[in-house]
A and B are shown apart, each in its own frame.
Chain A
Amino acid sequence: MTLDFFIQNFINAMQWGSFLALIAVGYTLVYGVLLLINFAHGDIFMVGAYTGYFIGTFLTNNFEIKLPFDLPSWVVIPVTIVATMFITALVGVAIERIAYRPLRNRGAHRLYLVITALMFGLLLEYGNLALLGASDRQFPNLFDKIIYSIGGITVTNIKIYVILLSFLSMGILWWIVQKTRWGMAMRAISYDRLAVPLMGISVDQIILFTFVLGSSMAALAGIMYGTAFPILRFNMGMLVGWQAFIAAVVGGIGSIRGAMVGGYILGFTQIFVAAFLPSTYRDLIAFVVLLLILAIKPTGLFGVPRRTKV
């Protein structure tokens, strides 16, 4: 095995890990604040990819309704990203308002919330199937693809953007959670949910804010995923969503750093097992590794065990 081969797979793993990390962070945020495993998150990611598809196709003038002029790509890309994040955040907030909050306010057990989340994920999936039909869609070319080759290593600009964007957005997220008042309130809720309203902080607002953050990260992941793998299908969120959820658990669900590390660990094991061992064993070995990590550290790498308060 040459060094080229190793570096090439390292880059492949960085890209795949970035996607898993970006999605995993959405599970972690909601869990950190609500102690709710938001199983609809994989499908929110799908909604993000489809929203990006519609906005992107419209702005690049490939949609049925045409703009009277062509937009330059430095307008199309930021507008697509921001608008997609905004709309997907609205979807996330709507789910919280329609499905989770009424249950929470009635004091339903967390188990019912998890089941509601699963149900809502399926609702999004099959809603998409019913509304948009079962045909696959091709994600628009937002970025002109450039292929760089250095020695035996080949990288596309899209791979570089995916990796950079994921690090950048994780950084921003970390800053929001650690350094802003909203972030402080989020952390406060996860420490002591009962004391927070006594301090004059609206729990519902902070929860909404959490969903906005998580869903816009999913939207960003959706756009980048669509750019890297330009075929969209109604159930695309399911498999990736599960893998990202496992990544979040391995990293220690509730911890942003954990989600990121978990995403990269899963990404690296999947790619490197496929590269160095028969690719048939990829998922088997990858998940055995994760199981071992959990067996040694049941709360995940960066997780803190929670004691049940009475």
Chain B
Amino acid sequence: MKMKLVVTIVSVLLVTAFFASACAAGGGDTIKIGINAEITGDKPKVGEQSKFAAEMYVKEINEAGGIDVGGKNYKLELVIEDNNATAEGSAGAANKLISQDNILAMVGPNPSNAAVPAGEVANNLETPMISPWSTNPNTTLNRPWVFRTPFLDPFQGPVVANFASAKFNATTACVLFDIASDYPKGLADNFKEAWEKLHGAGSVAKFESFTTGDQDFSAQLTSIKSSGCEVLFTPQYYQEVPLIVSQAKDLGMDIPIMGSDSWGDPQLLELCGSDCEGAFFSTHYVANGATGATKDFIDKYNAAYNYIPGDVAALTWDSMMIVTQAIKNCGTITGNLTEDRTCVRDGMAKIKDFDGITGNMTFDAQGDPIKCAVIVEIQNSEFIAFDSACP
């Protein structure tokens, strides 16, 4: 009995080792791109869309014969690692992708709480990284190896503040955000700063916080209600927004609620139901009414996976395009990882007037794109483009 168990374990280990070595050996004319995604954890839908979009992109490129770098054809290969949507998970995944899987460039992680620590790892190990979704400035700040596809929170905060002041004719605002997560916290600060610049100090009547995993927001919302502010800004993810919005309604609040690009997830509509009707948020792209390459992407994605992709899918697609463009800019692939990684980084920094499906972008010195934001309204359980704001 015991002998049998030992034999089983040893054979399983041998088989795993065989496959692992087979994978490592399969170099040749392929370029490895790492995907650092939130497959498990509290934002699985984000990771899923990112993964699907990347896989779709690679499939399309490879079916068309791969990419041409300096007269030689290369196929793309994805190495996907789960980062569990946590800081430790994303740093671990980045380490593994860079040191063990020998990827040329890394796409992801998406949310800022994961992208900030992973950016540190990528920068230290001198590997180009591009985050499709992280809008917190710290992700790329003073990190020459780290880039991103979306706009930044210091841009998004004022966009929301300007829109809310004009649209709702509001002078006082309240904010409710998760203090334990990089993205909501950073954006809440940016919004507060922008709002106070518009309406003077103290015009943000309540600046309430909670911590990741909380589901009861009644105390914070009661304070917000009693402060009498005219608009509530909550830069949260799809797992908190429905709870916040419905609990606000339960407390008899009728002030408009505004969100940020983290709202732009199809699951938000599913989980929120009628409660989110009429809410506004700022984001990168809108599927509804899209044209040209953006529409092609949405149709292809919908055909393959049976739902309309959210912004993170579109941004991942753009990130993959940017990585490919950077490799092409590079000119030659030598096979020496250190040289190639440096070359791809330089190629990425050179990108100008890149025409992506989420808009036109040029990288600034910090590795951040300069691009426009869209304001979306939720109508009949759909995201409808309402307005846009450019820097």
> How far is the CB of B114 from the nearest CB of chain A, in Å?
15
Q: How far is the CA of A147 from the CA of B246 in the complex (A)?
A: 12
Beta-carbon contact of A279 and B209 below 8 Å: yes
- Chain B residues 33-82 with CB under 8 Å of chain A are 39-42, 44-45
Beta-carbon contact of B210 and A279 below 8 Å: yes
Q: Which of A9, A134, A270 contacts B40 (CB 8 A)?
A: A134
Q: How far is the CA of A52 from the CA of B239 in the complex (A)?
A: 19
Q: Which of B215, B222, B273 contacts A229 (CB 8 A)?
A: B215
Q: A156 on the interface (CB 8 Å rule)? A: yes
Beta-carbon contact of B209 and A280 below 8 Å: yes
Q: How far is the CA of A221 from the CA of B300 in the complex (A)?
A: 44
> How far is the CB of A208 from the nearest CB of chain B, in Å?
31
Residue of B nearest to A12 (CB): B218
Beta-carbon contact of B213 and A239 below 8 Å: yes
Q: Given A231-B271, A283-B211, decide whether A154 and B219 contact each other with a Cβ distance below 8 A.
A: no
Residue of B nearest to A281 (CB): B209
Q: How far is the CA of A156 from the CA of B42 in the complex (A)?
A: 28
Beta-carbon contact of B252 and A134 below 8 Å: no
Q: B277 on the interface (CB 8 Å rule)? A: no
Residue of B nearest to A129 (CB): B40
Residues of B within 8 A of A159 (CB): 250
Beta-carbon contact of A279 and B252 below 8 Å: no
Q: B8 on the interface (CB 8 Å rule)? A: no
Residues of B within 8 A of A280 (CB): 179, 209
> How far is the CB of A48 from the nearest CB of chain B, in Å?
15
- Interface residues on chain A, number (Cβ under 8 Å): 41
Q: Given A129-B40, A134-B44, decide whether A2 and B219 contact each other with a Cβ distance below 8 A.
A: no
Q: How far is the CA of A228 from the CA of B216 in the complex (A)?
A: 9
Beta-carbon contact of B251 and A275 below 8 Å: no
Beta-carbon contact of A147 and B222 below 8 Å: no
Chain B 238-270, CB-CB to A under 8 Å as 1, else 0, gives 110011001001111000000000000001001
Beta-carbon contact of A154 and B209 below 8 Å: no
Beta-carbon contact of B222 and A5 below 8 Å: yes
Beta-carbon contact of A279 and B219 below 8 Å: yes
Residues of A within 8 A of B246 (CB): 230
Chain A 56-78, CB-CB to B under 8 Å as 1, else 0, gives 00000000000000000000000
Chain A 235-249, CB-CB to B under 8 Å as 1, else 0, gives 110110000000000
Residues of A within 8 A of B238 (CB): 136
Q: B220 on the interface (CB 8 Å rule)? A: yes
Q: Which of A156, A239, A275 contacts B250 (CB 8 A)?
A: A156
Q: Which of B40, B220, B271 contacts A136 (CB 8 A)?
A: B271
Residues of B within 8 A of A271 (CB): 218-219
Q: A308 on the interface (CB 8 Å rule)? A: no
Chain B 163-188, CB-CB to A under 8 Å as 1, else 0, gives 00000000000000001000000000
Chain A 1-45, CB-CB to B under 8 Å as 1, else 0, gives 010110011001101100000000000000000000000000000
> How far is the CB of A292 from the nearest CB of chain B, in Å?
21
> How far is the CB of A97 from the nearest CB of chain B, in Å?
23
Q: B11 on the interface (CB 8 Å rule)? A: no
> How far is the CB of B390 from the nearest CB of chain A, in Å?
34
- Interface residues on chain B, number (Cβ under 8 Å): 34
Residues of A within 8 A of B223 (CB): 5, 274-275, 279
Residue of B nearest to A1 (CB): B226
Q: Which of A133, A136, A156, A283 contacts B267 (CB 8 A)?
A: A136
Q: How far is the CA of A279 from the CA of B208 in the complex (A)?
A: 6
Interface centre among B39, B209, B218 (most CB of A within 10 A): B218
Beta-carbon contact of A154 and B250 below 8 Å: yes
Chain A 149-163, CB-CB to B under 8 Å as 1, else 0, gives 100101010010000
Residue of A nearest to B253 (CB): A154
Q: A145 on the interface (CB 8 Å rule)? A: yes
Q: How far is the CA of A120 from the CA of B19 in the complex (A)?
A: 31
- Chain B residues 130-178 with CB under 8 Å of chain A are none
Beta-carbon contact of B250 and A145 below 8 Å: yes
Residue of A nearest to B251 (CB): A154
Q: How far is the CA of A236 from the CA of B179 in the complex (A)?
A: 19
Beta-carbon contact of A275 and B41 below 8 Å: no
Beta-carbon contact of B179 and A154 below 8 Å: no
Q: How far is the CA of A152 from the CA of B251 in the complex (A)?
A: 9
Q: How far is the CA of A50 from the CA of B270 in the complex (A)?
A: 18
> How far is the CB of A279 from the nearest CB of chain B, in Å?
5
Q: Which of A156, A231, A279 contacts B215 (CB 8 A)?
A: A231
Q: How far is the CA of A274 from the CA of B210 in the complex (A)?
A: 9
Residues of A within 8 A of B41 (CB): 134
Q: How far is the CA of A133 from the CA of B222 in the complex (A)?
A: 34
Residue of B nearest to A13 (CB): B219
Q: How far is the CA of A4 from the CA of B45 in the complex (A)?
A: 40
Q: Given A138-B270, A230-B242, A279-B210, decide whether A9 and B215 contact each other with a Cβ distance below 8 A.
A: no
Residues of A within 8 A of B226 (CB): 2, 4-5, 8, 152
Across the A-B interface, the 7 shortest Cβ-Cβ residue pairs:
A134-B44, A274-B219, A12-B218, A154-B252, A229-B215, A271-B219, A239-B213
A133-B44, A147-B249 known, 6 other contacts, Cβ within 8 Å: A134-B39, A136-B271, A138-B270, A271-B218, A274-B210, A279-B219
List 23 A-B pairs, Cβ < 8 Å.
A2-B226, A4-B226, A8-B226, A12-B218, A12-B222, A129-B40, A134-B39, A136-B238, A136-B239, A136-B267, A138-B242, A138-B270, A231-B215, A233-B239, A238-B213, A239-B213, A274-B210, A274-B220, A274-B223, A275-B219, A279-B210, A279-B220, A279-B223
